[in-house]
Amino acid sequence: MTARTADHAVRLLIVGPPGAGKGTQATGLAHAYGVPAISTGDIFRSNIKNGTNLGLRVKAIIDAGELVPDSLTNELVQSRIAEADCVGGFLLDGYPRTVEQVSFLTSHLAESNTAIDAVVRLVVDTEVVVERLRNRALKEGRTDDTEEVIRNRLAVYANETEPIVAIYAERGVVVEVDGEGRVDEVAKRILDGLAEQGVRR
Ligand code: B4P
């Protein structure tokens, strides 16, 4: 699909625990809606790889499975979504991750009379995600995919990120999707769920 215009902008979020398949699904979903997929995790990792100041600041935090401070993450997302390719909307993957980040994003979007249209929530059993991330560790060697750090990331998710789902649920924009099964099956469920929610492609 070609890029969307401002008149038909779509603003989406994808949330779920580490290993739920956010990054895996984000690319295809963003393509289907003609918007860019923006992963805060990918942005941090590429800064770490390139040895930038931001990368140096966040490396130890990410390696421990903790969250990067809200102020830093909010600023990063604010400037990314101000870029020209986001005029027709965006798909945010891995942001917001705290109640504070939700408040920031909501106020920021309200300044331009816009809001999030839908939040895709991927639901996957804890042992399934641990197994997926163990497999990824073998293939990709991500430094935050060790058993200990995976468990910590899951705990951080439960404490810090899970509460954001209730905020969006109150706004009536959450689309809950079973994230288990084949990647293409999950992708279809997401598209069907968004269509049911009335989010047009
Ligand atoms: P992320 O990059 O968001 O890492 P993640 O939660 O593990 O998600 P990821 O996208 O990699 O995994 P996915 O669910 O796609 O964040 C990394 C770190 O950056 C955080 O811990 C934090 O420190 C920092 N950070 C990022 N955003 C932040 C924010 N907003 N605030 C503060 N700090 C922030 O799972 C992918 C794996 O599952 C793959 O191996 C894939 O092959 C597999 N998989 C997916 N779907 C599958 C399926 N259907 N079947 C089998 N395997 C599947």
Q: State whether the beta carbon of 157 lies less than 6 angstroms from ligand 1.
A: no
Nearest CA to ligand 1 atom 23: 62
For ligand 1, the distance from its centroid to the CA atom of residue 37, given in whole angstroms, is 13
For the chain, give the percent of residues with pLDDT over 70: 100
Does residue 188 have an active-site annotation? no
Taking the C-alpha atoms of residue 78 and residue 178, their distance in angstroms, rounded to an integer, is 30
Is the separation of the CB atoms in 187 and 28 below 8 Å?
Answer: yes
CA distance 154 to 22: 14
Q: Say how far apart CA 147 and CA 164 lie, in whole Å.
A: 25
153 catalytically annotated: yes
Which residue(s) pair with 121 in the sheet? 15, 176
What's the 145 CA to ligand 1 centre distance in angstroms? 10
Model confidence band, residue 136 (pLDDT cutoffs 50, 70, 90)? very high
pLDDT of 199 higher than 80:
yes
Is 80 marked active-site?
Answer: no
End-to-end alpha carbon distance in the chain:
9
Residue 106 sits at φ, ψ, to 5 deg, of -60, -45
| pLDDT mean over 139-148 | 93
Q: Is 142 a catalytic residue?
A: yes
Q: Is the CB of 61 under 6 A from ligand 1?
A: yes
User: Which atom of ligand 1 is nearest to 77's Cα?
Assistant: 30
What is the rounded average pLDDT for all residues in the chain? 96
| C-beta of 130 in contact with ligand 1 (< 6 A) | no
132 in active site: no
Q: Is 5 left (phi over 0), alpha (psi -120 to 50) or beta?
A: beta
Band of the pLDDT at 3, cuts 50, 70, 90?
confident
State pLDDT tens for residues 98-130: 999 999 999 999 999 999 999 999 999 999 999
Predicted structure pTM score: 0.96
